[in-house]
C-alpha cells in the first residue's frame, strides 16, 4: 500500500508542477489581481475583469450607477453617461458587462451589485434579441461568470482557465507572436489583433477601441472597403423574422430585475441595441418589457432604422460605435433622469 501511495504521489508531481506553472503564468489574469488587465493581446474574461476592478475600487468610489450588458454595451461609456446626472454630486458610475452575456448573467450581475453596493441609483441595461434566449451560464472560459456572481462552482470556473492555458494551439500562438511580434490571420479568436486592442479606464470599467476609431477617422473608405472585401459586412436584404416567444425563465429573470429595482428605487433605462443584422426584438417581447418596466423606461432601437442602415456606425457586424451610443443616450435622457424610477 505504501508503495502504491508513493507511486501515485510521484506520478502526480509533474501534473501538480504544470498546474502551478499555469497559475503563476496566469495568461487570462484570473488568479491574481493586476494594475492593468489590458496590457496584452490575450482575450480575457471580461466579467471577471469587471468584478476585479469593482472590488478594488468600490470601497473608495462607492459606485451607485451601472451600465450593464454584453460586449455591445461597450459603446456606452460612463464618461458620456454621467453628464446626464450633473445635478447629482454623488453620482459614481461603473461599467459592468460580460462578453457574449445574456439575460442570465445580467440578472446575476444586478443581484450581486444590489448586495455589494450601498445604493443602486441608476442602471442602463443594454439588451438585444439574443440576450432573451441566452438563459444559462456559459461553459467557455472567456464567457463563464465568476463564481462570486453566479454562485456556481469555483473549481469549475478556474479549471476552465487551466485547461485553456494548456491548449497546444494557444501556447503555440503565444510563443509565435511573442517571438515574431507579427499578428497572423490564423491567430484570430485566440489572440487580439493589434488594431483591436483596448485601452482601459480602470476606475469606470470602460474600455476603448482607440485604434479602430483612428483607422476609421483616418481613412473610412479604406477601412470599410477592406471589411466588406473580407466578408465582415454581409448582405442584409434577407430579413430575419424574430421569434416573439420569450422563454419563461427569461420572463422570470426580467421580473427579478424589476423587483430589485423597486426595492432600491432604481432609475432604470433599457436599451434594445441596434444590431447590424437588423433583427427586430418583436412586438410581443417589446410589450412584455413595457409591461414590466414601464414604456417610458424601454427604448427599442432594433430592426431597420437610422442606426442600422449605415455600416459607418459599426466596427464590424457585432459592435456599434460610441457615437451611436451617445446619440441613443441623448434620446433617452434629454434633460430628465428622474422619471424612470420603478416604484
Quote the pLDDT of residue 337.
47
237-243: long-range contacts, CB 8 A cutoff, minimum separation 24: 239/278, 239/304, 240/277, 240/278, 240/279, 242/129, 242/279, 242/280, 242/281, 242/282, 242/285, 243/133, 243/282
Residue-wise pLDDT tens digits, 169-224: 999 999 999 888 888 888 887 898 887 778 899 999 999 887 889 999 999 999 99
Domain boundaries, given as residue ranges, for the chain: 27-333
Q: What is the pTM of this model?
A: 0.92
Residue 88 in this model has a pLDDT that exceeds 90: yes
Q: For residue 4, what pLDDT band results from cuts at 50, 70 and 90?
A: very low
| pLDDT given for residue 3 in this prediction | 55
44-52: average pLDDT: 96
141 in Cβ contact with 161 (< 8 Å)? yes
Burial class (CB in 10 A: 0-12, 13-18, 19+), 190: middle
Residue pLDDT, tens place only, 245-263: 889 999 999 999 999 999 9
What percent of the chain is modeled with pLDDT above 70? 93
Residue 5 has pLDDT above 70, yes or no: no
For the segment 8-19, the average pLDDT, to the nearest whole number, is: 64
Predicted confidence at residue 194, as pLDDT, reads 80
Tens of pLDDT, residue by residue over 301-341, are 999 999 999 999 999 999 999 999 999 999 999 855 444 44
pLDDT at 55 exceeding the cut of 70: yes
DSSP of 4-55: HHHHHHHHHHHHHHHHHHHHHH-TTS-SS--S-S-SSSB---HHHHHHHHHH
Amino acid at each position: 500500500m505504501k508503495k502504491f501511495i508513493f507511486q501515485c504521489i510521484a506520478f502526480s508531481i509533474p501534473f501538480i508542477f504544470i498546474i502551478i506553472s499555469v497559475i503563476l503564468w496566469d495568461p487570462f489574469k484570473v488568479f491574481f489581481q493586476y494594475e492593468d488587465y489590458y496590457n496584452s493581446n490575450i482575450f480575457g474574461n471580461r466579467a471577471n475583469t469587471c468584478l476585479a476592478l469593482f472590488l478594488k475600487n468600490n470601497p473608495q468610489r462607492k459606485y451607485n450607477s451601472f451600465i450593464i450588458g454584453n460586449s455591445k454595451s461597450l459603446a456606452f461609456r460612463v464618461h458620456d453617461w454621467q453628464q446626464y446626472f450633473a445635478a447629482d454630486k454623488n453620482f459614481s458610475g461603473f461599467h459592468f458587462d460580460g462578453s457574449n452575456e445574456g439575460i442570465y448573467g445580467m440578472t446575476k450581475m444586478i443581484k450581486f451589485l444590489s448586495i455589494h453596493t450601498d445604493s443602486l441609483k441608476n442602471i442602463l441595461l443594454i439588451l438585444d434579441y439574443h440576450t432573451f434566449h441566452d438563459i444559462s451560464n456559459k461553459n467557455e472560459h472567456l464567457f463563464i461568470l465568476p463564481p462570486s456572481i453566479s454562485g456556481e462552482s469555483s473549481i469549475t470556473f478556474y479549471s476552465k482557465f487551466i485547461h485553456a492555458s494548456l491548449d497546444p494551439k494557444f501556447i503555440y500562438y503565444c510563443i509565435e507572436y511573442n517571438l515574431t511580434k507579427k499578428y497572423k490571420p490564423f491567430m484570430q479568436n485566440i489572440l487580439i489583433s493589434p488594431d483591436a486592442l483596448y485601452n482601459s479606464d480602470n476606475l469606470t470599467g470602460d474600455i476603448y477601441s482607440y485604434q479602430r476609431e483612428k483607422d476609421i477617422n483616418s481613412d473610412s473608405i479604406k477601412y470599410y472597403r477592406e471589411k466588406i472585401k473580407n466578408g465582415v459586412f454581409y448582405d442584409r436584404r434577407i430579413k430575419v423574422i424574430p421569434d416573439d416567444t420569450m422563454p419563461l425563465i427569461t420572463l422570470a429573470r426580467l421580473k427579478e430585475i424589476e423587483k430589485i429595482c423597486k426595492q432600491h428605487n432604481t432609475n432604470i433605462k433599457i436599451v434594445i441595441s441596434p444590431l447590424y443584422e437588423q433583427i427586430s426584438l418583436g412586438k410581443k417581447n417589446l410589450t412584455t418589457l413595457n409591461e414590466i418596466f414601464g414604456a417610458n423606461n424601454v427604448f427599442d432601437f432594433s430592426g431597420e432604422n437610422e442606426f442600422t442602415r449605415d455600416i459607418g456606425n459599426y466596427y464590424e457586424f457585432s459592435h456599434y460605435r460610441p457615437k451611436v451610443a451617445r446619440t441613443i443616450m441623448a434620446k433617452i435622457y434629454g434633460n430628465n433622469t428622474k422619471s424612470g424610477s420603478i416604484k
